[in-house]
Structure 1
Amino acid sequence: MAKTSRSIMVAKGLQRVLNVGLLLLAAILIVFLVKETIHLAKVLFVNSEESSSYLLIEGIVIYFLYFEFIALIVKYFESGYHFPLRYFIYIGITAIIRLIIVDHKIHLIP
């Protein structure tokens, strides 16, 4: 019986460490989301070059990636400390779309 109570205490301690780590990660992601918002505003209102449309699209997709990671952390706490698999799929699809849109150059094999 003592072993199970010890394992429960260890599990609760590790859960607290995980929760604190995820809260710190969420705070860092929010800072990056604010920086990306400022960057998008600069690209949208300041730059008038033709390449700024690519920068704008890249910034929007990166913005959605940050937003999806923050939503994943929120859902983790709302769903009783479980990560829903569909959010990982959404993040993966967005990352692939970003790769296709931003890095659309043809790589030739020498």
Structure 2
Amino acid sequence: MITSLRVASTLQMILNIGLICLALILIVFLGKETQHLAWAMLNTDEQKSSFLLIEGIVNYFLYFEFIALIVKYFQSGYHFPLRYFIYIGITAIIRLIIVDHKNPQDTLYYSAAILLLVITLWLANSHRLKRE
């Protein structure tokens, strides 16, 4: 019994250290994305600049959401809330639509995936599935 608790607490500590390292790496990339956004705003090629700016903003939100997920993990007692993963999935698919929108059928599939994730988010936030 005591050894299983010791193993569990050791693994939890390793997981926490790994998540802190991951958060620091994501913060560095968030800073680089901030520089990328500033460069895209100052770029003179308007067509390319607006595309890079929109893609950069969505990437920025992805980094931000992953960092928020790690913060929420520590605040909620070592638990990842499902809705944060759904938010990240929706943002990632939106980024994919912005970057790769050449095939209309693929865009329709991506939109259906977003709709499915929104329905999942609604179900996850319904009263039947909420934790007390």
Return the TM-score normalized by structure 1.
Answer: 0.92
Q: Which of residues 80, 84, 102 is equivalent to 1:83? A: 80
Q: Which consecutive aligned stretches of 4+ in structure 1 deviate over 6 angstroms post-superposition?
A: none
Q: Which of residues 9, 12, 19 is equivalent to 1:12? A: 9
Aligned residue in 1 for 2:100: 103
Q: Which of residues 87, 90, 93 is equivalent to 2:90? A: 93
Distance (Å, rounded) in 2 between the aligned partners of 1:34 and 1:104:
27
Matched, 1:26 2:23: yes
Moved more, 97-106 or 57-66: 97-106
AA matched with 1:76: Y
Distance (Å, rounded) in 1 between the aligned partners of 2:100 and 2:19:
30
Per-residue CA deviations over 1:49-89 (Å, capped at 9, x if unaligned) read 12111100000000000000000000000000000000000
1:107 CA displacement: 8.1
1:105 CA displacement: 1.3
Q: What are structure 1's unaligned runs of at least 5 residues?
A: none
The alignment yields a C-alpha RMSD, in angstroms, of: 1.2
Distance (Å, rounded) in 2 between the aligned partners of 1:7 and 1:70:
31
Return the TM-score normalized by structure 2.
Answer: 0.77
1:48 CA displacement: 1.3
% identical aligned pairs = 72
Aligned residue in 2 for 1:35: 32
Distance (Å, rounded) in 2 between the aligned partners of 1:103 and 1:63:
18
